[in-house]
Amino acid sequence: MATKKRTTPSIQELEKGILSGDRSALARAITLTESTRSSDKVKSISLLKKLLPNTGHSIRIGITGVPGVGKSTFIEAFGQMLTREGRKVGVLTIDPTSQKTKGSILGDKTRMENLSRDPNVFIRPSPSALALGGVTDHTREAILLCEAAGYDVILIETVGVGQSETIVRGMVDFFLLLVLAGAGDELQGIKKGIMEMADGIVVTKADGDNVKGAQQAKGDALQALHFQQPSQSGWKTKVLTTSSIENKGISEVWKVIEDYQSHADKSGYLEENRRKQQEQWLEEIIEQKFHEQMGNRVIAKMRSQLLKEVRNNKVLPLEAAEQFWKHITRHW
């Protein structure tokens, strides 16, 4: 007996499903944005344009921290607290990529078993594909799709603290840095730029024998913040301690985020910051497309030839660059 071929939903079907809160339609739409097929890219853009009026209403929160700090455990406790308050939570977790399969090594059900069963939560693990900042190329599209599906809190968990966390900061409203209890040395190891980007710092695992160490880490963080330049938003970074296991300090973190949102909204910073993020998104796409063009066979061949001539002192680098750009503009 022949198996029935699975039909691909139309743009109209996906739009209807997403607006009705269908998690299956949402998952399919995100998969569509991640596709490298030209036809799927066209469909993805069409879908996003239709859904755009229903986006932008969420609070977007980036969560980062070194491996082992307890990001997933914190997100599970945080997400459950939010749904108890009637919130719908979208969680975009960026997993390490398997070198063998190029897929996610970890999974949402493995790391957030209880949260994944909540009907008011949508969790999407995506492979980082070694992307800078530990985010995928399509995280921004996923944010918009989640918002259109009615999720009013979007959490973006990164792989860990890296040199390009500015990418994450450039797509969220509130940036939360998690640090380990009793890790004064760790604070010194975190790059100064990441501390400056944080709107909130949470010392995790503040329970049992770690309570005293957590308070020490909080003090270290507060001391480090004294030497920072004021943020553009005018917000003063807050430092808290939490225990996800004992469910302590979790609601206080949300209160800080709500205070920040109110502050940024009243000052006009929230709206202006999102405008700048849209511009940054465009710049990143243009740069990405440019690098893709550099892989063009004809362009790559000329570039290789020019490099050879430069190495052999047959042409100056400046002269070679001029030839290269003239060649590109002729072909574009």
User: Whole-prediction pTM value?
Assistant: 0.85
Same domain, 15 and 106: no
Question: How confident is residue 232, by pLDDT bands cut at 50, 70 and 90?
Answer: confident
Question: Tens of pLDDT along 253-290?
Answer: 999 999 999 999 999 999 999 999 999 889 888 888 88
Same domain, 238 and 226: yes
- Could you tell me the residue range of the domain that residue 43 belongs to? 9-54
Share of the chain above pLDDT 70, in %: 83
Q: How many domains does the chain have?
A: 3
Same domain, 257 and 300: no
- Domain presence at residue 202: yes
| Inter-axis angle of helices 11-19 and 38-51, nearest 10 | 40
- Domain presence at residue 256: yes
State the CB neighbour count (10 A cutoff) for residue 186. 17
Q: Output the pLDDT for position 106.
A: 45
What's the half-sphere exposure (Cβ side, CA atoms, 13 Å) at 305?
9
State the CB neighbour count (10 A cutoff) for residue 183. 22
| Inter-axis angle of helices 250-267 and 71-84, nearest 10 | 70
- What is the bridge-based pairing of β-strands 153-157 and 174-180? unpaired
Same domain, 166 and 233: yes
| Inter-axis angle of helices 317-331 and 297-311, nearest 10 | 170
Q: Which residue has the higher pLDDT, 316 or 161?
A: 316
CATH number for position 227? 3.40.50.300
Residue 12 has pLDDT above 90, yes or no: yes
Same domain, 181 and 40: no
